[in-house]
Structure 1
């Protein structure tokens, strides 16, 4: 794991894979698996609680596409 400095001067590591996060979001986003993977447990719980509405599924699909199109450095700054 390499450690880098973000533009804010904060150190971050590359310990999350953006392709894995995107696959989790697209396939299992309706129950929030990608949020748990990225360490956003509170958001994951919300996705799990509201899965029956279908909204988390749509959001998961959108977020999966965003993760795939996001620049690597920006992804690691935000989620790394």
Structure 2
């Protein structure tokens, strides 16, 4: 059976073996959480609309005190490996911490 140039999950592309894994969403999501977390932009950026709305409501109800949550999340994002970030928040769809 020929695969016509496509690779399956068990095969690796030898030309990409030397490149380290990079997440495209990790740094922007972390910066959004740290800098403008009170707007829940990190949640909306990652596609978590329900969690973003909850974060906005929490910020209004607590007069901004709940904005510490996205700030902490942003710091957590920065200290995770790129692969772990993608596995947890991009593919795993974990909405909080």
RCO higher in structure (CA 8 A, sep ≥6):
1
Q: Where in structure 2 are there 5+ consecutive unaligned residues?
A: 1-8, 10-21, 91-97
Structure of larger gyration radius: 2
| Native 8 Å contact 1:32 1:56 kept in 2 | no
Match of 2:67 among 57, 62, 68: 57
Q: TM-score, normalised by structure 2?
A: 0.62
Structure with greater proportional strand content: 1
Name the residue aligned to 2:45.
Answer: 37
Counterparts of 2:59 and 2:76, CA distance in 1? 20
Q: How many residues align?
A: 68
SS of residue paired to 1:39: coil
1:67 aligned onto 2:77: yes
1:22 aligned onto 2:30: yes
Q: Where in structure 1 are there 5+ consecutive unaligned residues?
A: 6-13
Q: Which runs of 4+ in 1 moved over 4 A?
A: none
Q: TM-score, normalised by structure 1?
A: 0.73
Counterparts of 1:16 and 1:63, CA distance in 2? 17
SS of residue paired to 1:51: helix
| Native 8 Å contact 1:31 1:56 kept in 2 | no
Structure with greater proportional helix content: 1
